[in-house]
Structures are given as C-alpha cells and as structure tokens.
Amino acid sequence: MLNDIQEVLYGANQIQQKVKELGQTISREFEGRNPLVICVLKGAFIFMADLVKEITIPLEIDFMAVSSYGQSTKTSGVVKIMKDLDAPVQGREILIVEDIIDSGLTLSYLIDVLERRNAKSVTLVTLFDKPAGRKVELEADYKGFVLPDAFVVGYGLDYAEHYRNLPFIGILKPEVYEK
Ligand code: PRP
Ligand code: MN
Ligand code: MG
C-alpha cells in the first residue's frame, strides 16, 4: 500500500494540528447555535471523528453518504445519495464536514438539497481544497490545506475504496490507476 504513494503531502501530526485549529475556530463561530454537524461519507469519516473531538460546544451529528467518483479518479458528474440523514434539517444551523473539494459538484449538490429542506444556515468546512479542479464556483467557509492538482489518497480519501486508512495524505502514483 505504501509502495503506491508517490509523495506524502501532509503527515499525521500536521493534519492533527490543523484539525485542532479548525475545531477552535468552529467552537467560537457556533457558540450558542447547537449546530447539526453533517459528515459526508465515506471520505470525511476520519476528519469528522477528529474534528468533533476538537469542538468544545454542544452539537449534534448526522451522516449522509454521497458518491460520484466510484472506481474512477475522475468525477462521474452525477452525485448519488447512498444514505440520507436521519432527521429533518428544517431550521437547523448546519455545518457540513467534507474531506476534499475538487470539482465542487458534490457540495454544490448537497448545499442545494439542504437549502431546499429549509436549513437555517449552511456552513462548509473541508480539510483539503483542490481549487484547480473546480467545475462549479464554490468556496469553503473553513479549509485546512490547499492541494496541488494531483490525485490524492489517505486520511479517509480513497481510490476504488482503498487507501482510506493511511494516516497521512499523499499523491497516488499514476501507474496505479493508469492501466
Ligand atoms: C469524493 C470526496 C468528496 C468529493 C469531492 O467523494 O470524498 O466527497 O469526492 O469531489 P468533487 O468536489 O469533485 O465532487 P466520492 O464521490 O469519491 O465518495 P466517497 O467519499 O465515498 O469516497
Ligand atoms: Mn466523499
Ligand atoms: Mg471516493
């Protein structure tokens, strides 16, 4: 598995430090708002778990699974809801937790869904941002690291469902998927 990594971009300690800072900022921002923190499965599961431990105010959590990449390194352009939220979001202050924004299609779709369900507010936090990949205009309210235009895996992010368990984020060797 480690053999397939071309370059480590951010290690576990650097990520941990950044997640801590994001948690502190979010704690200040959402004081008294009882946010509903939504994890975008599957990619965001590790970031979500680490982030909520750094948030010091009351909150609720829920999970939504959406997928558009499948077994490919390129977005299919079609965002599918694999698992929906358990509870209504009407009137709630939402914090969406995402691992990465690339084309922006996943989050623009999700924001649209939540706004149509009458959420009171929708705020975005992403650990990684790849601005070079954008197909729709979309900016996170809070972001951790800006990444180069390369296919990355680890810390929740996959290629064909693998590599999610790597504790760092790294560039996948193109020879792994260029076959
Ligand atoms: C990946 C990633 C983000 C999204 C970002 O999810 O976890 O959710 O793509 O790409 P975008 O900005 O181009 O939409 P994926 O569809 O691979 O599902 P997964 O989280 O289950 O891996
Ligand atoms: Mn995802
Ligand atoms: Mg994926």
40 Cβ inside 6 Å of ligand 1: yes
For residue 50, give the H/E element and its range.
Answer: helix 45-53
Mean pLDDT score across all residues of the chain: 97
ipTM over 0.85: yes
pTM for this one? 0.97
Active site residues: 102
**Which atom of ligand 1 is found nearest the CA of 65?**
21
What domains can you pick out in the chain, each with its CATH number?
A: 12-147 (3.40.50.2020)
How deeply is 108 buried, as exposed, middle or buried, from its count of CB atoms within 10 A (0-12, 13-18, 19+)? middle
- Mutating to test ligand 1, I would choose from 45, 74, 98, 100 the residue with most ligand atoms within 8 A of its C-beta, which is 100
Please say if the pLDDT value at position 9 is more than 90. Answer: yes
**Which atom of ligand 1 is found nearest the CA of 135?**
13
Interval 15-39 mean pLDDT? 98
**pLDDT one-digit tens code per residue, 113-169:** 999 999 999 999 999 999 999 999 999 999 999 999 999 999 999 999 999 999 999
pLDDT at 42: 97
Rounded distance from Cα 106 to ligand 1 centre (Å)? 7
pLDDT at 164: 98
pLDDT at 14: 98
Please say if the pLDDT value at position 179 is more than 90. Answer: no
170 Cβ inside 6 Å of ligand 1: no
**pLDDT one-digit tens code per residue, 68-117:** 999 999 999 999 999 999 999 999 999 999 999 999 999 999 999 999 99
Nearest CA to ligand 1 atom 18: 67
**Cα separations (Å) of 78 from 62, 85, 104, 167?**
23, 19, 12, 29
Rounded distance from Cα 43 to ligand 1 centre (Å)? 7
73 Cβ inside 6 Å of ligand 1: no
Angle at 131 between CA 14 and CA 64, to 5 degrees: 75
141 vs 26: CA distance, rounded Å: 10
Interval 7-17 mean pLDDT? 98
Nearest to 40 by CA among 141, 114, 90, 93: 114
pLDDT at 7: 98
